[in-house]
Amino acid sequence: MRVLGVDPGLTRCGIGVIDSGRASRPSLVAVDVIRTDAYGASDVRLGLIADAFDRFLDDCRPDVVAIERPFARSDVSTIMGTAQASGLTMGLAARRGIPVAMHTPSEIKKAVSGNGRADKKQVTNMVTRILRLDEPPKPADAADALAVAICHLWRGAVGAQSTPGSTKDVLARRAQGLQGSGMTKAQEQWAAAIRTAKSR
């Protein structure tokens, strides 16, 4: 299983990709933060995020995309930007037939650190330990994206409102030409399981 985690934001959008291996010992595949000019036009900024996110989907070919669910804040402009980036990444994944799951901030913190109210430093330290990294991912948005991916790997669709419905069928990826030249081993196993389930 390859999970791409997203810490959505319009100015900084964290992207982290992990492989499950053994579920208790996930490994880092890639991590980055997509940055846009805080004073730029929203449409241009979203376009830049879309281009960068598409490249991640092409290069990493995840089996699922997990996104931190936006939550209400007093700063309306911040929550609007976060919601826009969240919806954008959700739509780009769905267009390629990749299942999408949403996880709340407290759910992510609890999965990674055991404490639903952990601060960013605690989350970063746990992500560093879990992935056996030589140094903490920076900035915090990068660590947060990896935490989202770890949360989904460990908690899966339980309470995550995963959306692997018929419109996100992994078998359609190759035909659409949007997922690269072929499927990963995990994707092939998933496709075989879907075929078996549909034949019953």
The CATH number that applies at residue 35 is 3.30.420.10
The question of whether 37 is a catalytic residue gets the answer no
Mean pLDDT across 143-171 = 67
- Annotated catalytic residue within 7, 19, 107, 144: 7
Indicate the pTM of the whole model: 0.78
Q: Which tens digit of pLDDT belongs to each residue from 15-62?
A: 999 998 765 689 999 999 999 999 999 999 999 999 999 999 999 999
The question of whether 188 is a catalytic residue gets the answer no
Number of domains in the chain: 1
Contact predicate 3/67, CB 8 Å: no
- Annotated catalytic residue within 19, 63, 107, 141: 141
Cα separation, 82 vs 87, whole angstroms: 9
Per-residue confidence band for 76, with pLDDT thresholds at 50, 70 and 90: confident
- Annotated catalytic residue within 19, 63, 68, 144: 68
For 43, the domain range is: 1-197
Q: Which residues contact 134 (CB under 8 A, 6 or more apart)?
A: none
For residue 48, what are the CA distances in angstroms to 14, 21, 44?
Answer: 14, 32, 6
Give the annotated binding-site residues for Mg(2+).
7, 68, 141
Cα separation, 73 vs 92, whole angstroms: 25
The question of whether 7 is a catalytic residue gets the answer yes
Give the annotated binding-site residues.
7, 68, 141
Q: Which tens digit of pLDDT belongs to each residue from 101-145?
A: 999 999 999 999 999 889 999 999 999 999 999 999 999 999 999
What residue has token string 């030589």?
134
Alpha helices in the chain (DSSP H): 42-60, 76-95, 105-113, 120-130, 140-155, 173-176, 185-199
DSSP 182: S
Between residues 142 and 189, which one has the greater pLDDT?
A: 142
Question: From the CB of residue 24, how many other CB atoms can be counted at a distance below 10 Å?
Answer: 9
